[in-house]
Amino acid sequence: MALAERFRLPAVYIYRQLALDGGLMAYGPDTFDAFHRTADYVNRVLHGAKPADLPVQAPAKYDFVVNARTARKFGLAFSPSLLARADEVLE
């Protein structure tokens, strides 16, 4: 992230936390949701389900976070439609 900032390169990261830490944007699976779903799997196994019988799950929820502070620092402007689609806009 420091390298992208140094050379003023817009970058999209996979984890929400990286946008919170100063990255331009993040789009990736909601880790909080994934942890909750993992707890359901553990509960099923503890109640006797065989792990091999449980279906493999793909992420069900994705986060799109836009960091407007970083955009201003880079001299970028986001379109209103992109900001409307974001789950969170950091001012």
User: Above 90 in pLDDT, residue 5?
Assistant: no
Taking the chain, what is the end-to-end CA distance rounded to the nearest angstrom? 19
Q: Kindly report, residue by residue over 24-80, the tens digit of the pLDDT.
A: 999 999 999 988 999 999 999 999 999 999 999 889 899 999 999 999 999 999 999
Contact 45, 51 (CB under 8 A): yes
Contact 26, 15 (CB under 8 A): yes
pLDDT of residue 57: 86
User: Above 90 in pLDDT, residue 15?
Assistant: yes
pLDDT of residue 8: 86
Give the predicted TM-score (pTM) of the model.
0.80
